[in-house]
Amino acid sequence: MLQQKNGLNIQSDTALLNVTRMDLISLILYTLFVVLIIPAIIWISYHQYVLRQKFKNIPVYGRFPFSTTWELLTLTSYDRVKWYIQRMLQFKEGIFVHWIGMNPFINLYKPELLEIIMSSTVNIAKGHPYKMMESWLGKGLLTSTRKQWFHDRKLIGPTFHFSILDQFAVVMSEKAEILIKCLEKEIAKNPEKAIDIFPFANNAALDVICETAMGVNVHAQEGEIKYTATIHRGSELIMERFYRPWLWSDWFYNLTSTGKKYRSVINIIHKFTREVCAKKGHDTTAVAITWTLFLLGNNLEHQEKVHEELEEVFKDSETPATVKELSQLKYLDRIIKETLRLFPSVPLITRKLAEDVKIGDYTFPKGITVILAILLVHLNPEIWPDPKKFDPDRFLPENSKHRNPYAYIPFSAGPRNCIGRRFALLEEKMLLTAILRKWRVKSIKKPDTVEYGANLIFRPSEDIFIHFTPKK
C-alpha cells in the first residue's frame, strides 16, 4: 500500500514537473512573442503606413495588404503582358504603383517621366529582378552600379567603336551564310512546310556573339546546343521567383525545389561560359530578328518595299552584303525600328532609387524600385496613334522630328543605355538581309493570335512558323 502511495506521489511529482516545464516553455515563447514578434509587427505596420502615405498622390492598383501579389502570381507570362497594357489604358497619367508582397513598384510610361529617371547619373542602380540575376551574371555591366559600372562601361566602350564594328561585320556575314545554308537544308526536307524561325535566329546570334566577343567558334548552327534552351529556362525561373516575394531571400530560395532547379540551370550556364563565353549573358538580337520576319510575313505590302530596296541596292549581285550597302537600306531601317517599337527585346527595365526624386506632385522615396515600362510607352495611344498598327513610316524624319526622344527607347536611354546598340542593329540587318535577298516570307499566325511573354526578354511563348518562298 505504501509502495502504491509512493508510486502515485512520484507520478504526481513527475506530472507537476512536466506541467512546470510546459509553463516555462510557454512563458519563454510568450516572452519572445512580446519582445520580438509584436515590435516587429508594429514596426512593419508603421513602415508600411509611412511608405503608403508617401504614395498617396500616385494612382494605386490593388488593395492592402496583398495588392497584386496573388493576381500576378496566377497569370501566365502572356497574361501578365496584357495585364500591364490594361493598367496603362486605365491609368492615363502615365504612372501607377502596385505592390508585390510588402514592396511597392512605381510604373512609369510617359516620356517626360521616364526622362527624369533615365537621364540621371545618380539613379543608375538596377532594381528587382536584376538582383536575382547576380548568381547568374555576377557583377557585370548589366548588374553592377556606381564606380564599378562607370569603370566597366569606360573599359568596354571602345569594343563597339565604328572601326571595330567593321571587323565584326565580317564574322556576322560568315554566320549569315551559315544561317542561309541551315535554312536551305531545313526547307529542302519539305518545301511546303512552315519553319519555326526562332531556333535558327537564336543559334546564329549565339554564333555571332561568341566569335566576335570571345574569339571562339561554338558552331551553334551546325549542331544542337543545350545552352540556348537553358538560358530560356533560367529566365523563366527568375520571373517565377520575382512574382513570389517569399522566395526573394537567397538562403530560403536555395532550400526550395525551384531554387535547386535554378542552381542546376546556373551550373550548366556557368560551365558553358567558363569554356566559351567567359560570363557573357544572353543575346536579344535573336528575338528582334524573329519578330521582324514575323511582322514582314504579316504585312506583305511592306515586305514588297523591302524587296524593292534590296534589288535597288544589290541588283543581281550574290556576294555578301557590306557595311556600306547595309547603310543604304533606309526602308529596312524603319522596318526594324517599328518592330522594336511593337516588340522591344527588353520590355521593361528597373531602377532602385539612390535618392529621393520629386516629379511635379509626385515624390519617389529613396530605395524604391521604379519600373521603366518600355513596352507601355511604345504602345501608349497618346503618343502613337493606332499603336498596334505596323507602320514603318512613323520613323520618317518628318514624322519623328517633334517626338519626345524618350517616347521610343528600345535600347534604353540616358547614361545607362545599351552599349551594344550599334552592334545589335548591324547584326540584325546583316542576318535579315541575307534571308530576304533569297526568300519571301509569310507568317502562319497573325500578331493578335500569337502568344509571347516578358521573361527578361520579349520572346515568343510558342513556335513562330513562317513559310519561305524563293525569290524569282
In this structure, which long-range contacts are made by residues 139-145, counting pairs with CB atoms below 8 Å and at least 24 apart in sequence? 140/279, 140/281, 141/419, 142/281
Is 418 marked within a binding site?
yes
Measured distance CA(414)–CA(422) in Å, rounded? 16
Spatial contact of 132 and 241, defined as CB atoms under 8 Å apart: yes
Residue whose C-alpha is closest to residue 199's, from 213, 173, 179: 179
Measured distance CA(106)–CA(59) in Å, rounded? 10
Radius of gyration of the chain (CA): 28
Q: Enter the C-alpha cell of residue 135.
A: 548568381
- Establish whether the linkage from the previous residue to 104 is cis, with ω within 30° of 0: no
Residue whose C-alpha is closest to residue 413's, from 116, 118, 156, 153: 118
* Maximum separation of any 2 CA atoms in the chain, in Å: 119
Spatial contact of 126 and 349, defined as CB atoms under 8 Å apart: yes
Q: φ and ψ at 449, to 5 degrees?
A: -115, -10
Q: Go through the chain and tell me how many residues it has.
A: 472
Q: Tell me whether residue 442 is exposed, middle or buried, using C-beta atoms within 10 angstroms of its C-beta: 0 to 12, 13 to 18, 19 or more.
A: middle
Binding residues for heme: 418
Binding residues: 418
